[in-house]
Structure 1
Amino acid sequence: MKDGIHPNYRDVCFVDQSNGFKFITRSTVSSKETITLDDGREVPLVKLETTSESHPFYTGQQKSIDNLGGRVEKFRNKFAGFAKK
């Protein structure tokens, strides 16, 4: 590889702001904040609003629109009285 043309690919710590879940992976993302890990390494810190630990799709808390009634049925029920006039 040529020197000076590739982004800095290193370990980065991502933390979920909603529940404090942390995971470390390799990335080229830049960050001004750092965190010291349990093993003494200092790595860049990236704060996230949601991760797989807090997203409703992955936690099983997501509600499906199909289970709540279809959009067509909701429309028909809402405007059923207008057609009779």
Structure 2
Amino acid sequence: MEGNIAELGQYIGAGLAAIGSGTAAVGVGNVAGNFLSGALRNPSAAAGQTATLFIGIAFAEALGIFAFLVALLLMFAV
């Protein structure tokens, strides 16, 4: 009986950790949306902010990948 409860806890924890993968998409959308909003307000400054856009997207995606790795570790680690 205890093994089943421990397995259930692993799957619940993995599901909660997988929420971070979904929120990474929200973060990327937020970064890109704010960049687009600023670029439409001041088109001459948009070229200088492109590197910052890609850095922000990379950080948001990295957090999503880390959350995915935690979910996999919770599911398949012994």
TM-score range, shorter chain: under 0.3
The structure that is strand-richer by fraction is: 1
* Higher relative contact order, structure no. (Cα contacts within 8 Å, ≥ 6 residues apart): 2
TM-score by length of 1: 0.24
TM-score by length of 2: 0.25
* Higher CA-based Rg: 1
The structure that is helix-richer by fraction is: 2
